[in-house]
Amino acid sequence: MGTVHAKAQQNEGFGQVGGGLLGLDEPLEFDEEPISKPSIKLNGVRARVDRVHVDGLNRTKDDIIRSAVDDLFHATDFEDVILRAHKVRRALDATGCFRDIGVYIDVSSGPGATPEGLEVTFQVKELSRIVGGINTTVSENEGNLVIGVKMPNVAGRGERLQAEYSVGNRSTSNFSVTAAKPFLRSALTPVLSASVYQQNHEYPWSGYRLLDRGLLLDLAFNTSPATKHNLQWEGLVRETSVLSKNTSFRVRESSGPQMKSVLRHILTIDHRDEPVFPSRGTWLQFSSAVAGLGGGVAHVRTELQAQANATLPQASNVVLQGTCAAGVLHDVFGSELADRFFLGGPASLRGFAQRGVGPRADGLALGGTMYWATGLHVYAPLPFVAGRGGLAELFRSHVFMNAGCLAHPEEGESIVSALSEACVAGGWGWRCGWGAWRASSSTTACRCAPPRGTSLLRACS
Amino acid sequence: MPEMSLKDSIMTSMNAQEPWPDNVKLFQPYEVEQILLPDNASCLAVQAFLKMCNLPFEVEMRWNAEFMSPSGRVPFIKCGAFVVSELEPIVQFAANKGVTLCGRLSTEEKAEMRAYMSLITNVLVNAELYISWVDTETFNAVTRVRNASVYPWPLGWLQTRSKRNNVIKRLKALHWYNKTLDQVLADVEQCCNSLSQRLGDRDYFFGTPTELDALVFGHVFTIITTRLPCRKLADIVRRHETLVALAKRIDEQYFKRP
């Protein structure tokens, strides 16, 4: 491949320009990275891309590849070539068609080669036609065996077909079939997906069980690298049933099948460096939903969640995190328990039992139509094993202080007074997370709640 | 018949000492636009029973009464923290509170009463289910429309379909599904014959009102007053004048407002 002389020189001068250097997933920051042999200025080497090869294409269609690599031809110097090659590599990666992408840059030869010409070769490995997997998950109150089948890049333009079936230890079965189609060539790179699903949920804290069967259409697009929008329409039939004969009548009243049609917009802005245990950056999610275009449930539901992270200047591995969340549900007709907000539990208001805050009947959480929650968290590596890596990296010690209130103001009741009965909890514990998974255990927590939130006023150890 | 679990029986008997509260509510589907023939019969029967016992209650109509009911069937009563559905458990529940209609009956008479009650559940209820859900004409003209009336489209269609499948499954298990309409009507005829023979020219089956009278009233009154495309069922029942007279007597005595 190409002239030996040129390749050897480049390899010496610029390091490995292959899978190694460009195999990174993070954006390359060239100004920070000390590139070896500073005597050669990459941007001083004039270059032009003559040809781009993509090796290993099998069923992926040419047009999406062509539009992805097109950018390379506009490069004017060698640094530009490398940067653009990396961008192209990420674009190819984002199509979700390839398992492995290697980049090789060589001087061009043969007929039509220009003096400063380069040839860029992408060596790709396509994902196999069908990928299957079996795994187990443990969620809030159930263990599941999940069997999944995925068919990536079905028609050659990044289309994806995915089916998942899961059986839980409480003999519930869930399934979902999703078809997604990315529009790789248009601006904002929208992804259209449709899924059909059946989901069982049990909420022992509220005494009911849900069986959702529905259709979800989703259009996701990015207006900036950190800003993601989801426009969704969801139509579902929801069957609510009570868990036992002695379930509170307030919960029993909401049983029965209901149909719901929801239009939803979710805006996510993520400037964090990591989704799990971030060390800096902010995150914000704003979702608004309107239900009632058909179906028997009509309401407007808005929710805002935000998070800010900062590393303490004195200790670089101690992260200070501030969170806040708020939500309002305006019921027009037919909104039942399942539509309401619930608060409490390690994921929302730590130090309280799952759904432990807000209106209750016979010990069961009834949910509310508005809530707010704030929290201040300090995360630090585990003591004694810090810096050793390995399993300990998945754990953090956690000191927290959070407060929140969930209310269901009756007509005529003042919203301000309903929302001022805050529940506060503080304590310390540990938190564990990897991938998208998190678990927490709090060793000590002190909570206090206004008299209305019965049975919460106690300190526990 | 839903079996009572041990826990329920213990709880019911523990509750026995407490008197019948004033705020008892009977939940049933909407009478005008929703309720179906078999459900209406059992709701009327329970109402008649409670009125015979002179137990105060309030009727509350809910679109989802069937789903709120612990057994999945209407009607059910809410008595304090207790939720009890269908006639026999309700009779049992009232008996635990010391209210019973068959206290002075001998053991043989009680057994006889049980037998007639199960004859009704085995014949009349199945016949009503057959007419409502299997007879195409009635299903299309009445059952489908009424059952779907409380749901938005297409949920109504889905619900009607799944409920019909359940009813058909039940009827198949009881070997009723493969009967022709004439066979069903012949069964009804036979059931009515034995009921009217037992009744003879008495006012009530056992002299004074019992839950059997309430059950017969519920079914006979519903069948003769409900307008259906298939008139044959009502015609057969109407031919048994003593039963019709019993129904009218109970209606006048317990349901007519002074």
Given a contact cutoff of 8 angstroms between Cβ atoms, the answer to whether A229 and A265 are in contact is: yes
Place of tokens 């708020």: A326
What is the model's pLDDT at position A108?
83
As a whole number of angstroms, the distance between CA B40 and CA B17 comes to 32
A45: buried, middle or exposed (CB in 10 Å: 19+, 13-18, 0-12)?
middle
Query: Tokens representing A255?
Result: 């049983």
Place of tokens 């009125």: B51
- Yes or no, beta carbons of B68 and A296 under 8 Å apart: no
Choose which CATH entry (3.40.50.300, 3.40.640.10, 3.10.20.310, 1.10.15.40) describes domain A42-126.
Answer: 3.10.20.310
What is the model's pLDDT at position A340?
93
Give this complex's ipTM: 0.85
What is the model's pLDDT at position A5?
36
- Yes or no, beta carbons of A252 and B83 under 8 Å apart: yes
Out of A253, A255, A296, name the one closest to residue B151 (CB). A296
- Higher pLDDT: A372 or A316? It is A372
Quick check: A3 pLDDT over 50?
Answer: no
Mean pLDDT (whole number) for A439-457: 50
The mean pLDDT value of chain B amounts to 90
Domain A183-460 has CATH 3.40.640.10: no
Q: Give residue-wise pLDDT tens across range A235-245.
A: 999 999 998 88
Lowest-pLDDT choice from A91-100, A222-231, A331-340, B4-13? B4-13
Q: Give residue-wise pLDDT tens across range A107-122.
A: 888 887 888 888 889 9
What is the model's pLDDT at position A27?
47
Out of B8, B68, B158, name the one closest to residue A237 (CB). B158
Lowest-pLDDT choice from A273-282, A311-320, B6-15? B6-15
| Chain A residues with CB within 8 Å of chain B CB | 237, 240-241, 245-246, 249, 252-253, 255-259, 294-296
- Yes or no, beta carbons of B83 and A249 under 8 Å apart: yes
Quick check: B66 pLDDT over 90?
Answer: yes
Q: Give residue-wise pLDDT tens across range B67-103.
A: 999 999 989 999 988 899 999 999 999 998 888 898 8
B63 interaction partners in chain A (CB closer than 8 Å):
256
- Yes or no, beta carbons of B66 and A256 under 8 Å apart: yes
Quick check: A13 pLDDT over 50?
Answer: no
Range(s) within chain A of domains with CATH label 2.40.160.50: 183-460
Place of tokens 């239009």: A263
Given a contact cutoff of 8 angstroms between Cβ atoms, the answer to whether B220 and B199 are in contact is: no
As a whole number of angstroms, the distance between CA A263 and CA A441 comes to 36
| Residue A452: band (very low, low, confident or very high) from pLDDT cuts 50, 70, 90 | very low
Nearest to A435 by CA among A277, A229, A223, A231: A277
What is the model's pLDDT at position B144?
93
The beta-strand segments (E) located in A183-280 are: 191-203, 208-224, 227-242, 256-270
What is the model's pLDDT at position A345?
84
Mean pLDDT (whole number) for B142-159: 92
Range(s) within chain A of domains with CATH label 3.10.20.310: 42-126
Q: How far apart are the first and last CA of chain B?
A: 36
Whole-structure pTM value: 0.80
